[in-house]
Copies of this chain bind each other. A is one copy, B any other.
Amino acid sequence: MHTHVTRRAATLVHAPMPCELPSVRAIPFSDTDANGPVRLLSNRQRHQIASIAIRTRLRRNTIVYREHTRGESIFIVADGIIKTFRNLPNGKRPVLAFWFPEDIFGLMEAGLYVNTTQAVTDVTLFRIPLEVLKETLLADASLQLQLLCKVTHELRGAQRHTIAVQRRDAVGRLAMFLRALEDHEVRHDDKNHIHIPMSRTDIADYVGLTPEAISRACRRLAQHGIVKFADRSRAQVLDRRLFERLGSA
């Protein structure tokens, strides 16, 4: 209902940008006039982070880092899409998150990365040595507060992900995923078009299903006239009412 309006408004605010400077987006703790995610950093802060960051371009499928390896840097996505997953002993490979532009990832645990992270598309990243970032955050407490806000935002995202995975029906999970994708997508030609940059297998690993189940769920969404799939990477919401209902329950 009004969440829809909220999300629309957020995407409209989001103007195309060159991504020369690092940027971070999240919903602040306190109330704001702008509903939805907001740019957290001031221009000064963006330049400050840029001065300690290394801009890196990676081709799709490149692995940024592997789980259980020692690392020194955290990352901010400038452009493209990243996935983070874990290799389980049983052969499963659950995707824990997709990272989009203005997201932060790579915060290690006792010096070790906990997940493996890989580029889904060609990406541009800002690479920031943790120790240098620490110094910067200790020197600029207000910058640090923005980061705290961002990590909290990602925690809420992880919780939504958990809710999606707890659902039993495949179509519902898929709808929640597509809904989340819609929130992150920046440039829609048509407002109802969703660009799907990742593979069906990636989606399956994200929502906790098999690729076959994803395929069947897509077909059922199409049969019910809720979503139309023009091609594997492009979806269109036909019945916004039913779509939102599926994706919220």
A interface with B by C-beta (< 8 Å): 27-32, 35, 86, 88-90, 92, 94, 96-97, 107-112, 114-115, 130-131, 134, 137-142, 144-145, 147-148, 151-156, 158-159, 161-163, 165-166, 208, 245, 248-249
A207 CB, nearest partner CB in chain B, Å: 8
Cβ 8 A contact of A130, one of B30, B142, B249: B30
| A168: nearest chain-B partner, CB-CB | B208
- In the bound complex, CA of A161 to CA of B163 (Å): 10
Cβ 8 A contact of A138, one of B31, B88, B109, B141: B141
Cβ 8 A contact of A27, one of B88, B109, B208: B109
| A131: nearest chain-B partner, CB-CB | B30
Most chain B CB within 10 A, of A32, A86, A109, A166, is at: A166
A98 CB, nearest partner CB in chain B, Å: 13
- In the bound complex, CA of A153 to CA of B152 (Å): 11
- In the bound complex, CA of A144 to CA of B139 (Å): 11
Say whether B151 contacts A162, CB under 8 Å: no
Say whether A110 contacts B155, CB under 8 Å: no
Cβ 8 A contact of A148, one of B27, B110, B114, B144: B144
Closest 4 CB pairs of A and B: A31-B111, A166-B208, A158-B158, A141-B141
A37 CB, nearest partner CB in chain B, Å: 10
Complex contacts, A108 vs chain B, CB 8 Å: 29
Say whether B152 contacts A88, CB under 8 Å: no
Known: A28-B110, A32-B110, A89-B245. 17 other contacts (CB 8 A): A29-B109, A30-B111, A89-B249, A94-B162, A94-B166, A96-B159, A115-B159, A137-B141, A137-B148, A139-B141, A148-B148, A151-B151, A151-B152, A151-B155, A155-B158, A158-B158, A158-B162
Say whether B156 contacts A159, CB under 8 Å: no
A160 CB, nearest partner CB in chain B, Å: 9
Complex contacts, A161 vs chain B, CB 8 Å: 158, 162
Cβ 8 A contact of A111, one of B29, B138, B139, B245: B29
Complex contacts, A138 vs chain B, CB 8 Å: 141-142, 145
- In the bound complex, CA of A249 to CA of B229 (Å): 35
- In the bound complex, CA of A114 to CA of B130 (Å): 30
Complex contacts, A156 vs chain B, CB 8 Å: 109, 114
